[in-house]
């Protein structure tokens, strides 16, 4: 009965958000900064969610909840949102606590223990404990929630970008802002341009967090927009963003050679940005 209740509740959430991208959302930051405000149809959001899921898990549901042997945090959901255990330094942008709050704000009936755990860290101290927890009530409740909330997780991807773009622009010096805005607007006004924007910020962050830098060089969305050559809207904007992302990721590996084994997969991922997926 509990699972049935969860599915019914989530179906209501899906209907609630299915048409939300059609609404005109008041956000003066975009008009004030001369930025293109994202507007996406539900089918576009679903295509993006499917591609991000494929990027993160290879399309295999067993990786919907994953803890890499080389990391000190778990990656959860369609976007592999990061959740650290307590007492671990939060180096990368920790996104799953925000996803929990998003569930709460949107009145999804989530387990009480998950609400209580939001600010305490993931309830498993390390990867070994996480692996042993498979089949336990908490693990299975979390897995069921993630499986059944694709629509809401997709909306969370979207809202993160909506909030991040004006923040990124304000982060850079005023004499550099026009360049960032031009490249962003070129992509935002290109057919298929929202997939690379949403995926990259989910994949490598905004690029403004000091702990997300090696040798004082970041690898987030800001760095990709900075690395792009000046470009107009159209297919060339997708290709330029894809190429710039490769340069940024290759530079990250130069600054930290121990991550070289990740590069092939990263390049494969950003290659998907060069052509529209919807």
**In angstroms, rounded to a whole number, what is the distance separating the alpha carbons of residues 208 and 136?**
38
- Measure the CA angle with vertex 151, ends 49 and 124; round to 5°: 85
Structural domain includes residue 54: yes
Same domain, yes or no, for 97 and 55? yes
Low-confidence ranges of the chain (pLDDT < 70): 1-27
Question: Is 270 part of a structural domain of the chain?
Answer: yes
Beta strands 65-66; 213-214: pairing state: unpaired
Which domain range does residue 92 map to? 1-6+40-149
Do 1 and 106 lie in one domain? The reply is: yes
User: Residue 87 has what pLDDT?
Assistant: 86
**What total number of domains does the chain contain?**
2
Residue 28 Cα distances to 186, 208, 273, angstroms:
20, 22, 29
The first and second tokens of residue 106, run together, are 């949107």
pLDDT for res 222: 98
Is the same domain home to 2 and 122? yes
Q: Mind listing the pLDDT tens digit for each residue in 75-101?
A: 999 999 999 999 899 989 899 999 999
Rounded to whole angstroms, what are the CA distances from 55 to 30, 44, 112, 156, 268?
29, 16, 31, 17, 9
In a domain, 67, yes or no: yes
Q: Are residues 178 and 263 in the same domain?
A: yes
Res 16: pLDDT: 40
Residue 155 lies in a domain: no
- Summarised one tens digit per residue, pLDDT across range 189-236 is 999 999 999 999 989 999 999 989 999 999 999 999 999 999 999 999
Give every CB contact of residue 173 below 8 A, 6+ residues apart in sequence.
Answer: none
pLDDT at 27: 66
Are both 52 and 139 inside the same structural domain?
yes
Q: Does 159 map to a domain?
A: no
Query: Degrees (nearest 5) of the Cα angle 75, 3, 128?
Result: 30
- Residue 239 and residue 105 share a domain: no
pLDDT value at residue 203: 92
**Considering only CA atoms, which of 96, 155, 158 is closest in space to residue 121?**
96
* Contact by Cβ (8 Å): 167, 31: no
Question: For position 230, what pLDDT does the model report?
Answer: 96
Question: In this structure, are 130 and 178 located in the same domain?
Answer: no
Domain shared by 120 and 191, yes or no:
no
Same domain flag for 140 and 192: no
Q: Are residues 190 and 117 in the same domain?
A: no
Query: In this structure, are 228 and 93 located in the same domain?
Result: no
């Amino acid at each position: 009965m509990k699972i049935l209740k969860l599915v019914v509740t989530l179906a209501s959430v899906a209907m609630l958000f299915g048409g939300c991208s059609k609404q005109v959302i008041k956000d003066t930051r975009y008009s004030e900064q001369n930025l293109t405000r994202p507007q996406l149809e539900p089918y576009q959001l679903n295509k993006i969610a499917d591609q991000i899921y494929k990027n993160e898990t290879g399309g295999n549901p067993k990786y919907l909840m994953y803890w890499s042997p080389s990391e000190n945090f778990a990656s959860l959901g369609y976007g592999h949102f990061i959740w650290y255990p307590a007492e671990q330094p939060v180096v990368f942008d920790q996104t799953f606590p925000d996803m929990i709050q998003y569930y709460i704000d949107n009145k999804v009936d989530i387990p009480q223990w998950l609400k209580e755990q939001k600010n305490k860290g993931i309830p498993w101290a390390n990867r070994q404990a996480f692996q042993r927890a498979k089949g336990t009530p908490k693990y299975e409740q979390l897995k069921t929630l993630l499986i059944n909330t694709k629509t809401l997780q997709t909306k969370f991807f979207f809202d993160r970008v909506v909030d991040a773009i004006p923040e990124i622009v304000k982060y850079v010096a005023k004499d550099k802002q026009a360049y960032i805005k031009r490249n962003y607007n070129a992509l935002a006004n290109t057919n298929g341009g929202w997939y690379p924007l949403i995926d990259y910020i989910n994949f490598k962050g905004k690029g403004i967090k000091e702990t997300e830098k090696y040798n004082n060089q970041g690898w987030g969305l800001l760095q990709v927009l900075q690395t792009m050559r000046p470009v107009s809207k159209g297919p060339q904007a997708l290709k330029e963003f894809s190429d710039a992302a490769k340069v940024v990721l290759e530079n990250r590996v130069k600054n930290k050679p121990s991550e070289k084994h990740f590069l092939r997969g990263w390049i494969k991922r950003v290659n998907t940005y060069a052509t529209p997926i919807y």
